[in-house]
């Protein structure tokens, strides 16, 4: 399913001489005509102009998937999901793409409370967490104001305020965790098949540790010239050529 042009993109186009909404429409038309390479070119041109949007990444992922470029499709869906974390279509398409990956690393299920925490953190963006926490603070202030002036009385309302303070601290705690995670952690997606992972950032005498294929999401540890040190979710670590991976936003 190709999504229509969002309002934000229309507003951006008014301010830009290169009219990115025209490129978006051209990409959608190319998708409808089955010209997926042309659609990719149009969508990527919008990204080069400095604009990004969840629907743009979603359509780009669909185009890459149609030409069987699993790695770049996964890269697009991951970016789309980071901007629209509760979008069921994006999540579904990412799962379908992951099912076609050659390498699928299965990790044991985490402790239930840790899993709930990760789900809560992943279902909201940083801005949404801050907005939600600010709304809770505003409501708390109103309740305290009403209690001070005697409009609300009794232990019931005081317990509500106490509970809301706990929830607010929890929401802001998750927001802080998400902020620092985004600051300290950088991720990418392998976009090529049969990528050798080396023990060092140069070919020479470095050992090939293992081989990975497109679609795998990796954490970036450090970069050096044309090499990137990565770590997989199962803890394996090594160096890959820069051109074999594309960074996530």
pLDDT in tens, 62-101: 999 999 999 999 999 999 999 998 899 999 999 999 988 8
CA distance 94 to 70: 10
What is the pLDDT, as a whole number, of residue 110? 59
Q: Which fold has domain 186-247?
A: SH3 type barrels. (2.30.30)
Mean pLDDT of the chain: 83
Inform me whether the pLDDT recorded for 18 exceeds 50: yes
Q: In sequence order, what are the beta bridge partners of 141?
A: none
Q: Which of 79-88, 155-164, 222-231, 236-245 has the lowest mean pLDDT?
A: 155-164
* pLDDT surpassing 70 at residue 135: yes
Of residues 168 and 197, more confidence is placed in: 197
pTM confidence score: 0.74
CA distance 71 to 73: 5
DSSP string, the chain: -PPPPPHHHHHHHHH-TT-HHHHHHHHHHHHHHT-HHHHHHHHHHHHHTT---HHHHHHHHHHHHHTT-HHHHHHHHHHHHHHSTT-HHHHHHHHHHHHT-S--PPPPPPPHHHHHHHHHHHSS-HHHHHHHHHHHHHHHHHHHHHHHTTSS-SHHHHHHHHHHHHHHHHHHHHHHHHHHHHHH-EEEEE-SSSEEEESSSSSTT--EEEEE-TT-EEEEEEEETTEEEEE-TTS-EEEEEGGGEEE--
Percent of the chain whose pLDDT exceeds 70: 82
More confident residue, 154 or 244: 244
Q: For residue 155, what pLDDT is reported? A: 62
Q: CA–CA separation, 95 vs 86, rounded Å? A: 14
Considering only residues 65 and 151, tell me which one the structure prediction assigns the higher pLDDT. 65
| Rounded CA separation 218/247 (Å) | 9
Architecture of domain 7-99: Alpha Horseshoe (1.25)
First to last CA, the chain: 23
């Amino acid at each position: 399913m190709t999504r229509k042009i969002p309002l934000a993109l229309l507003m951006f186009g008014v301010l830009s001489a290169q009219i990115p909404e025209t490129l978006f429409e051209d990409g959608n038309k190319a998708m409808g005509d089955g010209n997926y390479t042309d659609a990719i070119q149009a969508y990527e041109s919008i990204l080069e102009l400095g604009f990004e949007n969840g629907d743009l990444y979603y359509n780009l992922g669909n185009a890459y998937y149609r030409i069987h470029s699993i790695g770049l499709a996964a890269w697009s869906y991951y970016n789309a999901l980071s901007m629209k974390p509760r979008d069921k279509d994006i999540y579904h398409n990412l799962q379908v793409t992951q099912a076609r990956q050659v390498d699928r690393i299965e990790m044991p299920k985490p402790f239930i409370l840790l899993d709930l925490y990760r789900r809560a953190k992943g279902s909201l963006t940083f801005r949404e967490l801050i907005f939600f926490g600010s709304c809770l603070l505003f409501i708390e202030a109103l309740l305290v104001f009403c209690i001070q002036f005697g409009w609300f009385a009794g232990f019931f309302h005081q317990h509500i305020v106490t509970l809301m303070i706990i929830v607010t601290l929890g929401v802001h705690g998750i927001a802080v965790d998400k902020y620092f995670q985004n600051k300290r952690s950088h991720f990418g997606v392998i976009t090529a098949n049969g990528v050798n992972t080396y023990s060092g950032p140069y070919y020479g005498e470095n050992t090939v540790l293992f081989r990975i294929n497109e679609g795998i999401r990796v954490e970036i540890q450090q970069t050096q010239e044309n090499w990137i040190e990565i770590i997989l979710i199962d803890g394996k670590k090594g160096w890959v050529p820069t051109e074999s991976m594309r960074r996530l936003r």
